[in-house]
Structures are given as structure tokens and as C-alpha cells.
A and B are shown apart, each in its own frame.
Chain A
Amino acid sequence: MITTKNLTKHFKDFVAVQGVNLELKAGEVLALLGPNGAGKTTTVRMLTTVLRPTQGRAWVAGYDIFKEDAQVRKSVGVLTEHHGLYQRMYVKEYLDFFGQLYELGSEEREDRIKYLLHTFGLEGESDRRIGEFSKGMRQKLSLARALLHSPPVLLLDEPTSAMDPESARLVRNAIKKLRSEERAIVICTHNLSEAEELADKIAIIRRGEIIANGTPRQLKRHLLGPSEFEVQLRETWDGKDLGLSEMVEITAAGEDWFRFQTASPDEVNPEVIKRLMNDDFSVIRLGEVQRSLESVYLEAVHS
């Protein structure tokens, strides 16, 4: 659905994006993470054909962004960094206007508007002026605008920013549903837990370059090392060497617990339990330590 090859954008002497390679299939969500000014929005704008890349190529929904820009824009739903809503317009009128621009028939527009207002909990608001809306409501309306023409590709810049937790949950569920409808979705966000919850793939961008790219599991392994496990014992352990250091690397330890890293838990973990039990230790629990995307992100950005 989205393929970019060496996508690069220079503004005069400033390199905004350099050699970005991305691959996203239908039904996948890619989270584009990075500090402010890293090049996330520029990348999205190139994919919507609003900005013309200086170098490289890209295809969105099968269309070349250089040669078939109108087709690309037809196939993409965009939630922009700033809502950019017309304050004096009524909600329904606004969505109808964009529906016309996307060449939807009047009946289809009517149905889509009804459906989307319901999806985002705005059904009672269709005759209100946009200027009267709160930030969160505006965000939801912008999302509705992006989804109006049922595009196969969605590019969402900060989809839940300025939303209360309930609205954010509503939007996240909508994104999950859209993924299940085989749409390719790119999310630019600073909300790492949201990215972790939604994304199948993560790309971290810094100073215009992709510095890490892969599934969350791949990134964790690549940036934080092999999976880490924690063993909780009933007895005091006191750091005895039970021959475990030959098998695994102990990364942390306490009175009755320790952590180790291994790249092959299927073989190593049963052996660890076996040895502990041979030494009369009772294993209360052995589990994988959850490593947050935040640690992955910080490791990537600072390394």
C-alpha cells in the first residue's frame, strides 16, 4: 500500500528528510515516531503529494506520487497536524463540502456523514458551527473528514492529541477497526503507549533519517538486546552462582529474584528452572519483563 525508496526532501540548504525507506501493507499500522522537527510531517506531506520530494520515489495505494498525484490524493485520508477547520461553517455543511471535493454522490455523502458523526460521537452536533467546538471535538471532526471517502490509506498526524481519555479510546478503537478493514495507516505521534497499542510497525525518525524501523518486537530486540526474563524465588538467593552464568547473562538481581537475558528462551528457560529446582529453590514465577516502547525510543534517539 505504501512504499518509499530513498525519499528525500531538502528545503534550500536544510535537509528535512533524507533517504527514507518504508514499506507498509494493507491492514498494517505504522507509527512514525521522532522528536519535534524530525521530519515526520514532511514525510507525510510527501506521501500526500503536497510536498514534492527532492529525491527518491514513492507509491501510495499503487500510485506513483510523482506521476499520479491526483489519484494519490483521492486514495489518501489525511489528518493534518493542525485541524484547519472553517470556523463559520456548520459541521454537516463542512463534511458535505469535502465529500463533494472527493466526488462522492449526494446520497453517499449523506450516509457517510451520518455514519462518521455517529462513530465519533458527534451525531447531535451536525447543525452546530465548528467555531463552537472544543479542541477534542474539532479533532474528531477532522478525523471524520479524513475518513469521508473511505480511503485505503490513512495518514494521521497526532490522531488523539487534545482528546480526553474517553475520546482517545474511541479514536483508537476506530483506528483498530480501520486496520481490520485492510487499510494501511500511518500515525505520527508522540504518544508512545498509543503507538505500542496500535502499531504493527514502528519507524523512528531523527533529523530526517529513519534510525530504527521494524515491528515493536524486532526493535526491542535490536535496540535493547535479547528478551529479558525475571525469576521470582521463594527462598533467598544471595547471588549464588548456580552455573546460570554459563547459559545466560544475569542483568539484575535482588534478594529473592534475578533477571537474565536470552535470545533463545524456548531452550534456556526450562534449563534455568531445572537447575534452580535441583538446588532446592522454589520458582514462584518466571516471566518476560515488559520493555516499554519508551525505552526503545529513548535508546534509539540517544544512541
Chain B
Amino acid sequence: MWHTVRRALMITKREVRDQFRDWRIVTPIIILTLFFPGLMNFTARRAVDFVEKYGADVIGDRLIPFLLMVVGFFPISVSLVIALESFVGEKERRSIEPLLSTPLTNVELYLGKLMAVMFPPLIASFLGIGVYLIGVYRQVGWFPDLILLLQVVSLTTVQSLVMVSGAVVVSSQTTSVRAANLLASFIIIPMAILLVGESMIMFWARYHILWWAIFGQVVIAGLLIRAGIAHFNREDLLGRELDILNLGWAWHVFHDELVGKADSFAEWWRRKVKGSLVSLKWPLILSLLIMSAGVAFGGLQAKNYPLPSEALDWKQLEEGMLQGIEIFGTIRFFSVGSAGIIFLHNLRVIALASILGVFSFGVLGLIVLVLPLGLIGYFTGTVAQTGISMWQFLVAFVLPHGIVEIPAIILTGAIILRLGITLVTPAEGSTIGEAWLRSLAEWVKIFFIFIVPLLLAAAFLEVFVTPKVALLLFGG
């Protein structure tokens, strides 16, 4: 381990020295380190003076820590620019091949580059924070408590790590600096959203939530670094591929995974469908565990956040349910159209979960899927508190359609996980794009063969069977 770090640091040292020789990097770092914190000090002073006049001291109290975060963030934005060209820039300058011909391993090279692009802007950022703190202390006598300071420093570090690790992935997978710059929006936009969220936390002064933001970003950075190393390919760095959209090739890869060379339906089923299901074994187990944990978590929340006692009055509840069922009847709930609405709603949820999953290594996709199961857990727990058997509740309201809908959700979770995992798993002999297209083809196969029929069946059961079972068990 130490050997790897020591050799990675050789790359880091060279690159950092090289960066400090480039005025295009040094100038913005100096400005953002010295000038920008001064500007923020001035802003803080004026803002505090202004809001004090109107007795809105709280705004000033919130603004100063917020500006501390901003001062930390601006210098690290430079790291994005440097990171984006870390590999692809060397590729364009043709200096990557001598480096690849040395005994350096992929991990050493990757980590060396990662540290090189992160350290100078991060040091500049810490200096900027220092300059701001000195200035703000002298002007308004404010100094953060140590926990807040630690949070801001940690937040700045992990933000830098997330941006840099994302940008290095982009840099090692693109064919030109121009392409890398264009793809940078995939980093800038999520970071901007994140920053808005963090700003809200700062103004809201719920600083303990910042720990969650820090933790989440550490996880994301870890996944991005893992993805970068997993897909680091020396060949691609020497390739002469052009930045052209090769739809023919993409379709070829996709089609090969979707259909392959199967001559008959039976062969296709055996080779392509069964094979996909078998390969989904571990994602399925993981998805099942996550969904189960979601139900259990929901159930526990019923104790922590109980509904008001009148809402738990069984007599009212029973009447309400019966009324609800009767109302459903009058508005023609028991119709094919209603089943269609439920089916389309579920499809929308799965589409949303899949899209979010693609951009978050599967994490956000699973959160979307686990939410309804958490609600089931919550209501089951709540009902159990009224003295009614939770099994009776589950059999009446969940089981009739859940028996097909829940497997569909678990299966969806598994294919979303597979899409996410593909990005962080080495694909021997294929590019990241190829591996991802193959996973997408698997998604399409599983979606149309299993999930759509299951959801369709679930929608009909939910409309035509579940209310009747509920009525039978609870209606008397």
C-alpha cells in the first residue's frame, strides 16, 4: 500500500510542480485565495451593517458561515478544470505513452493524477478560508466554533474530491480535451444543485445535516474513484478514436446483448434471458435485502412518528375505508381504465428510478423504489398499534396485488443496481460504453419480459381483487 502511495506521489509531485509553472493555473488560484476572501469580508461587513439597522441580525449570523463555505468552494472549482485535462490532455500532447511504458501500475498512475489535481486548489481553498476568517474576525469579531470549522473544511475537501474524481473519470474516458470539457456539465450541474442544497442548510443553520452531506459525498467520491480505476484502460488512452457518435456500433453492441445470434425463441430464452437472470443473482439478493430493510425501517418509524390517536381510531378507520371503497365504486374505480392508470403510474416510477439510478450508481433509483415499501412498513406498524393484526392488514391491502408487484419492484431494483454497478466494475476487454450498453440491453430484456407483465397483472389485481379482499376481511 505504502509502495503504491509513494509511487503515486512521484506523479503528484511532478504534476504539482508543473502546475505551479503555468501562470494560467497560478493566477486564478492567487486571485481566489487572496482577493476573493477579501471581497467576501467586505460583503460580510456591509451585509451585517445593513441587516443590523433593521434588527434582522439573524441574516448576518447566517450569512457569515455561508460565505465561509463559498470562500472554500471557489478555489476548488479550479481543480475541475485541471482534472478534466489530466489524462486526456497528456493524450493530446502525446506525453502519456512514455508514462504508460514505465513500470507504474494503473492504480499508481490514477491516484497520482488524482492527488495532483486536487492538492493545489485544495491548499488554495484552505488558505482562502484562513484569509476570510482573519478578515471577518478583525471586522466583526466572528469566529466559527470548531465543529462548524471542521464541517466546512471537510465539506470543501469532499466537494473537491467528488469533482476531481468525477472529472478524472471523464478525462480518462474521453478522446479529446474538448470532449472532456463538454462532458463537464455532468459534474457541474449536480455540484451546483448540491451547493444550493448546502447553502439552504447553512441559512437554515441545521449544521448537523452537513455531516450527512459530507458522508454522502465521501461515498460518491469512493464510487467515482472505484469507477475510474475499474475502467482505466491504457489502450483507450493511446487510441485514435474520433469524437463521433457511432450509432451503428452502439446498436450492434446493444443488439448483440439483447438478441445475440439465437436462431429460435427457445435458444434466445436459454442463452439470453436465463443467462441474464442468473447473472442478476447478487443484485437480486441485494435488492431484496434493501427492500426488506425499507419495510423494516418504515415499521420502526411508526413508533417514532405515530399518527394522532383519532386517526388510529379503528371505528373511524373502518368507516373511512368502507366509504373510500364505495366512493371508488361510484367514480368507476373498478374499471380497466383505472388499472391502466395504475400501470402507467408504476411505469413512470420505474422510469424515474432507472434514470436516477444511472446518474447515482443505482443509489437514488433504489431510494425511489424503497419509499413505497417503507410506507407499507409504516402503515403496517401503525395499524398494529391499534390492536389489529398486521398480517390481516397485509393480506387485505397488500398481498393480493403485492404478490406480483413486489417481485417486480425487487427485480427493478436489481437491474438498476446492475446498471449502476457496471460503472464501477472492470469490464475485461470492453470499454465503459460497451459494458454500459450491454447492461442497458439486459435492463430492456428484464423490463419487457418480466416487469411489464408483472406490473400489468398487479394493476388489474389492485383494481379488481384487492378492494374485494379488503372488504371481505374488514367490511364484515
Once A52-B235, A97-B10 are accepted as A-B contacts, the answer to whether A73 and B97 lie under 8 Å apart by CB is no
Which stretch, B101-109, B285-293, B321-329, B457-465, touches the partner chain A?
A: B101-109
B131 CB, min distance to chain A CBs, angstroms: 28
B94 at the A interface (CB under 8 A): yes
Contact B234 A103 (CB under 8 A): no
B18 surroundings in chain A (CB, below 8 A): 86, 88-89
Once A86-B18, A89-B18 are accepted as A-B contacts, the answer to whether A51 and B234 lie under 8 Å apart by CB is yes
Contact A70 B103 (CB under 8 A): yes
B102 surroundings in chain A (CB, below 8 A): 73, 98, 101-102
Q: Which of B18, B100, B249 has the most CB of A within 10 A?
A: B100
A219 surroundings in chain B (CB, below 8 A): none
Contact A76 B101 (CB under 8 A): yes
Once A101-B104, A103-B103 are accepted as A-B contacts, the answer to whether A50 and B94 lie under 8 Å apart by CB is no
Contact A84 B249 (CB under 8 A): no
Once A70-B105, A88-B18, A101-B103 are accepted as A-B contacts, the answer to whether A50 and B97 lie under 8 Å apart by CB is yes
A78 surroundings in chain B (CB, below 8 A): 97-98, 101
A102 CB, min distance to chain B CBs, angstroms: 6
**Closest chain B residue to A98, Cβ basis:** B102
B93 at the A interface (CB under 8 A): yes
B188 at the A interface (CB under 8 A): no
B18 CB, min distance to chain A CBs, angstroms: 6
Once A86-B95, A97-B14 are accepted as A-B contacts, the answer to whether A50 and B249 lie under 8 Å apart by CB is no
Q: Which of B7, B14, B102, B239 has the most CB of A within 10 A?
A: B102
Q: Which of A48, A51, A84, A88 has the most CB of B within 10 A?
A: A84
Contact B10 A84 (CB under 8 A): no
A101 to B249, CA, bound (A): 38
Q: Among residues 74 to 111 in chain A, which have CB atoms less than 8 Å away from a CB atom of chain B?
A: 74, 76, 78, 80-86, 88-89, 97-98, 100-103
Q: Which of B103, B105, B235 contacts A51 (CB 8 A)?
A: B235
B98 surroundings in chain A (CB, below 8 A): 78, 80, 84, 98, 142, 145
A76 to B98, CA, bound (A): 11
Contact B103 A80 (CB under 8 A): no
Q: Among residues 79 to 103 in chain B, which have CB atoms less than 8 Å away from a CB atom of chain A?
A: 93-103
Contact A88 B21 (CB under 8 A): yes
Contact B95 A50 (CB under 8 A): no
Q: Among residues 1 to 59 in chain B, which have CB atoms less than 8 Å away from a CB atom of chain A?
A: 7, 10, 14, 18, 21-22
Q: Which of B100, B101, B249 has the most CB of A within 10 A?
A: B101
A240 at the B interface (CB under 8 A): no
Q: Which of A12, A50, A83 contacts B238 (CB 8 A)?
A: A50
A85 to B93, CA, bound (A): 9
A2 CB, min distance to chain B CBs, angstroms: 15
A207 at the B interface (CB under 8 A): no
B100 surroundings in chain A (CB, below 8 A): 48, 50
B92 CB, min distance to chain A CBs, angstroms: 11
Q: Among residues 111 to 151 in chain A, which have CB atoms less than 8 Å away from a CB atom of chain B?
A: 142, 145
Contact A84 B93 (CB under 8 A): yes
A76 to B101, CA, bound (A): 8
B21 surroundings in chain A (CB, below 8 A): 88
**Closest chain A residue to B239, Cβ basis:** A11
B7 surroundings in chain A (CB, below 8 A): 101
Interface size on A, residues (CB 8 A): 30
Contact B94 A83 (CB under 8 A): yes
A154 CB, min distance to chain B CBs, angstroms: 12
A48 surroundings in chain B (CB, below 8 A): 100-101
Q: Among residues 314 to 364 in chain B, which have CB atoms less than 8 Å away from a CB atom of chain A?
A: none
A51 to B7, CA, bound (A): 22
A45 at the B interface (CB under 8 A): yes
A88 to B238, CA, bound (A): 22
Interface size on B, residues (CB 8 A): 24
Contact A84 B238 (CB under 8 A): no
A100 to B18, CA, bound (A): 17
A76 to B100, CA, bound (A): 12
Contact B101 A100 (CB under 8 A): no
Q: Which of B21, B22, B103, B249 has the most CB of A within 10 A?
A: B103
B42 CB, min distance to chain A CBs, angstroms: 36
A103 surroundings in chain B (CB, below 8 A): 103
**Closest chain B residue to A54, Cβ basis:** B429
**Closest chain A residue to B100, Cβ basis:** A50
A160 to B346, CA, bound (A): 68
B239 CB, min distance to chain A CBs, angstroms: 8
Q: Among residues 199 to 241 in chain A, which have CB atoms less than 8 Å away from a CB atom of chain B?
A: none
Contact B97 A84 (CB under 8 A): yes
A89 to B102, CA, bound (A): 18
A86 surroundings in chain B (CB, below 8 A): 14, 18, 95
A214 to B102, CA, bound (A): 30
Contact B238 A51 (CB under 8 A): yes
A86 to B19, CA, bound (A): 12
**Closest chain B residue to A75, Cβ basis:** B103
**Closest chain B residue to A77, Cβ basis:** B101
A82 surroundings in chain B (CB, below 8 A): 94, 97
Once A12-B249, A88-B22 are accepted as A-B contacts, the answer to whether A74 and B95 lie under 8 Å apart by CB is no
Q: Which of A50, A73, A80, A102 contacts B235 (CB 8 A)?
A: A50
A106 CB, min distance to chain B CBs, angstroms: 13
Contact B103 A102 (CB under 8 A): yes
Contact A101 B96 (CB under 8 A): no
A31 CB, min distance to chain B CBs, angstroms: 20
Contact A80 B14 (CB under 8 A): no
Contact A50 B234 (CB under 8 A): yes
A88 to B22, CA, bound (A): 8
Once A50-B235, A86-B18 are accepted as A-B contacts, the answer to whether A80 and B10 lie under 8 Å apart by CB is no
A124 to B171, CA, bound (A): 38
Contact B234 A73 (CB under 8 A): no
A45 surroundings in chain B (CB, below 8 A): 97, 238
Contact B14 A50 (CB under 8 A): no
Residues 47-80 of A, flagged 1 when their CB comes within 8 A of B and 0 if not, give 0101110000000000000000011011010101
Q: List 5 A-B contacts (CB under 8 A).
A: A12-B249, A50-B234, A51-B234, A51-B235, A97-B10
List 8 additional contacts besides A78-B98, A103-B103; criterion CB under 8 Å. Answer: A12-B249, A50-B234, A78-B101, A80-B101, A82-B97, A84-B96, A88-B21, A97-B10
